[in-house]
Structure 1
């Protein structure tokens, strides 16, 4: 039956069937073959979606959309520019810093690129950065949207991993890896800009540091920057759960856009709601069918068989993590991040636990690998969004992406083999 499950899944993928339908139909095919009532399929799909923690996903999506449609990204960009804009490769580094700020609001990679790319890519080009390099910087920076908390893929992982994983612990565990990746991207931009003379101001026209300008931009961005503090502080302060934190984020975003900045009108509010409903429906449909698929996997003892396979190769956690990284990078090239998590997490997370790898650490490894998959053709969503904004084709930025691929691979190895990068902060609260 296991062969039928995965062969039918692969066949559906090759036929271009959407991931959610492919998982659901594959699972139903195995159930019919085994004489299981289709009523069980409906029950499993419903029970998977009937989850209080899952409510955090639509709330975080809506909060990010409200912030985006309220023009918050302009304030974050101004603050980041005042902070690091005078450094060599300034606007490229501003892109990374702004992506960090917006990632701490939206929880989505594509939303981060859409919110700041339309402003910063043209600005970088005007400053003398090549278009392909500007687009590559934006695409690479966008992956921070799913690594720095709050992160929608982290919520999906926590609910589908097959072992008990705290969403709050995953959130806090993503902070140091997110900072590490951001710092490595900024260093890469600095070195490439210095070497190639990108974005250099004519002699005598360089902007000077002005504390007053920095202070003013910090005040303008104060309330948006306060949002992640409220979310994470509330969760770890025991004030509210991650789901309640997401609801608080929606209320905070609405008040900020409607009454503080007064930039949220009826039109962009309806647009934010429409985008949120569509994104939520897609994610929930995938999760529901993934629950059915995971139930069949468990019934067929697939995690046990996978564990036996890996142990037959080597009983070393080092070798296991290397193989897992290669697998995740390959899968990330062809599947969307959420779909990859709901298919792979229930299989590999229990196996990782048998190798003595903490589920929180493994979750961060999985999400960072799949975030890099957002930058790799043929299904790299970050590349498509950034190229659409820049008005160029994906093949035009592949060369510019190569240095970022190398740096991100090094980051993956560091995060994989230095578990304290992920586990130190969560350990402080235990």
Structure 2
């Protein structure tokens, strides 16, 4: 049966490489398991539909809708202006604004695409006008937008907690430390790399003018800044569940977008709803098929057989962690983050627990690797979207993107794998 499972995965990878839409790729793998294997499709389809009725899954479309509203409502622009008030006059400060703004938006929307969709159209042209190479500005915004997968609440961690039966709140907390560390590394790398750019800097304001500008932009951004406070405070305070927090994010963003920032109108709200519904339909269908394929593999004891096969090669924990990280990185290169989590998470979790890596630490390891994969070709959906928004060729964006990956994501992958406390300190602090 292992051979049939490998054939199903091979068909999946081939279809992905050919550019076939994701749900059909998983459908191809399912057909192999159904026609050649011993599993029954009817029972697995019923199981899959039952799983899709889980209230946890409702958080995904709600966070996607909230993120789509943010991109159009003016909330993102208000956050950007507030952060820019602090460091906009410093060399490299605009790049720091991009990084921090994407992290804040990630803390609201839970998505990796929202940052580049909301910040890219505003900040990439501004950075280019200030002397940043357009391809570098695009690469920085694309890389930083994936902080949305690490800064909680994260849709990826919701799915991971669901498929591995791990506390979602613990998963949220596990990626916060690595996410903030990636944000810091991107900011420092940007300041260092900005030394070679011929930048046009704003005139350094006096202290009184700086305070005045920060106060003005802070007052304007206050409704936007309340969103992460309400969402995260509600979740970690035990007041609401992640699904309820996602609903609150949607409800809160509507009056803020319509009445305060006035970026929402009836006309563009209908367009936003259509875009969100289209994205949700594709994602939910992909989740259904990938869950069924993962369940078929589990029923055939493929995870256990995989653990035995790997242990036959080596039982060294360090070597195994290196192999797992390489596998996760390459998986992230060919599929999106949700697909990687659903397909690989249940397969590798038994191996991780066997070598003493907790499911919560493994959540952080998967989170950082899948974020890194989102800007690494051939899949690199966030990088392609960034190139389209930034109006620059993807081939020009790839070199600076790879540099940022090397200085931002790779060190954090190593630290998250080798230093458990980076991902486990906060969950333990909250009793997980």
TM bin, normalised by shorter chain, reads over 0.9
The structural deviation recorded for 1:34 is 4.4
What CA distance in whole angstroms lies between the structure 2 residues aligned with 1:208 and 1:180?
31
Name 1:360's counterpart in structure 2.
Answer: 360
The reply on whether 1:81 has 2:97 as its aligned counterpart is no
Q: How far apart are 1:405 and its partner, in Å?
A: 2.1
Give yes or no for contact 2:150–2:368 (8 Å, CA) kept in 1: yes
Secondary structure of 1:258's partner? helix
Task: Answer yes or no: is 1:103 the counterpart of 2:97.
Answer: no
Pair 1:215–1:338, CA change in 2 (3 A): same
Q: How does 1:28-427 map to 2 (within 5 A)?
A: 28-34=31-37, 36-161=39-164, 164-194=165-195, 196-201=196-201, 205-209=203-207, 210-407=210-407, 408-427=409-428
Residues 271-295 of structure 1 show CA distances to partners (whole Å, capped at 9, x for unaligned) of 2211211111111111111221122
Query: C-alpha distance in 2, partners of 1:371/1:59?
Result: 21
CA contact (8 A) 2:44 2:295 kept: no
Give the 3-state SS of the residue equivalent to 2:334 in structure 1.
coil
Contact in 2 for aligned 1:146/1:367 (Cα 8 Å): yes
Task: Give the drift of 1:117.
Answer: 0.6
Stretch of structure 1 that moved more, 379-388 or 39-48: 39-48
The 8 Å contact of residues 175 and 363 in structure 2, kept in 1 or not, is answered as no
TM-score by length of 1: 0.94
Contact 1:24/1:292 (8 A) holds in 2? no
Distance in structure 2 (CA, Å) of the matches to 1:400 and 1:5: 38
Q: Structure 1 residue 37: deviation in Å?
A: 4.1
Cα displacement (A) at 1:258: 2.4
Q: Distance in 2 between matches of 1:11 and 1:290?
A: 13
SS in 1 for 2:235: helix
For each residue in 1:170-203, what CA deviation from the matched residue of structure 2 results, as whole angstroms up to 9, or x when unmatched?
1122222111000000000001112x0442438x
* Offset, 1:314: 2.6
Q: Deviations over 1:132-163 (max 9, x none)?
A: 211121122111121111111111111123xx
Q: Deviations over 1:384-422 (max 9, x none)?
A: 111111211111122222421211211211122112111
Question: May I ask how many residue pairs the two structures share in their alignment?
Answer: 425
Write out per-residue CA displacement over residues 190-224 of structure 1, whole angstroms, 9 at most, x where no aligned residue: 01112x0442438xx44445111011111111121
Q: Which string of whole-angstrom CA distances, capped at 9 and with x for unpartnered residues, describes residues 346-372 of structure 1?
A: 101122111111111101111111111
3-state SS of the aligned residue for 1:397?
A: helix
Q: Structure 2 CA distance, aligned partners of 1:95 and 1:59?
A: 25
* Deviation (angstroms), 1:25: 3.5
Deviation per CA, 1:29-54, whole angstroms, max 9, x where unpaired? 32343455432132122122121110
Tell me if structure 1 keeps the 8 A contact 2:291–2:343: no
Quick one: structure 1 residues 77 and 19, their matched pair in 2 at CA, closer, same or farther if it must change by over 3 Å?
same
1:26 matched to 2:29? The reply is yes
Q: Residues 375 and 383 of structure 2 are in contact (CA less than 8 Å); yes or no, is this contact kept in structure 1?
A: yes
The Cα offsets for residues 51-96 of structure 1, whole Å up to 9 and x where unpaired, read as 1110110111111112222111110110110122122211111110
Structure 2 portions without partners, runs of 5+: none
Unmatched runs of 5 consecutive residues or more in structure 1: none
